[in-house]
Amino acid sequence: MINTTELDAIAHLARLYLTDAEKQAFAKDLQEIFTWIDQLPDEQITPPPAPLCPSVMRPDEVTEGNIPEAILSNAPASTYQMFSVPPILG
């Protein structure tokens, strides 16, 4: 069962900040959901599950490049045709 400490770790992996009230509510929801999910039967199949679609290869060629303005048009912040972000160590 998922407790709030475990939920803290998951939220960090998912890069989500949760308030204490949210943690309690989500821990309760997830417990209910996983109780339901645990009804899944243990099945074995041969061969083991693999991707449903085969990988499709294509030539490693630029087809629609050189459009930095379009790519940056929605960026919250950009400088010198690059995305800019707050300091990593701050």
Partner 1 sequence: MKHALLNYDLSAALEGLRKKTFSATELTKAYLDQIERTKALNAYITPTPERALADAQRSDQRLANGTARPLEGIPLAVKDNFCTQSILTTAGSTILGNFTPPYESTVTQKLWDAGAILLGKTNMDEFGMGSTTDNATYGKTGNPWDKDCTAGGSSGGSAAAVACGAALGSVGSDTGGSVRQPAAFCGIVGVRPTYGRCSRWGLIAYASSLDQAGTLTRTVADGALMLNLISGHDPRDSTSARQDVPDFTAVCGTSVKGRRVGIPKEWFEEKQDPVILKQWQDGRRCLEEAGCEITFVSLPHISVALPVYYLLVCAEASSNLARYDGVKYGLRAPSPNLMDMYEKTRSQGFSNEVKRRILIGTYVLSQGYYDCYYTKAQTVRRLVIEEFNTIFKEVDILLTPTSPIPAFKWDQAPKDPVTMYWNDILTVPINIGGVCAASVPFGQSSQGMPLGLQIIAPAFQEERLFQFGHILEKGASFPPLPFLSQ
Provide the binding-site residues for partner 1, judged by CB under 8 A: 2, 7, 10-11, 13-18, 22, 25-26, 29-30, 32-33, 36-37, 39-45, 48-49, 52-53, 55-56, 58, 67, 70-71, 73-77, 83, 85-90
Q: How far is the CB of 46 from partner 1 (least distance, A)?
A: 10
In DSSP terms, 78 is beta-bridged to 83
Q: How far is the CB of 68 from partner 1 (least distance, A)?
A: 11
Q: Which residue has the tokens 């998912």?
A: 14
C-beta separation of 26 from 18 below 8 A? yes
The CA distance from 28 to 86, in Å, is 35
What is the C-alpha end-to-end distance of the chain, expressed in Å? 35
Cβ-based nearer residue to partner 1, 5 or 39: 39
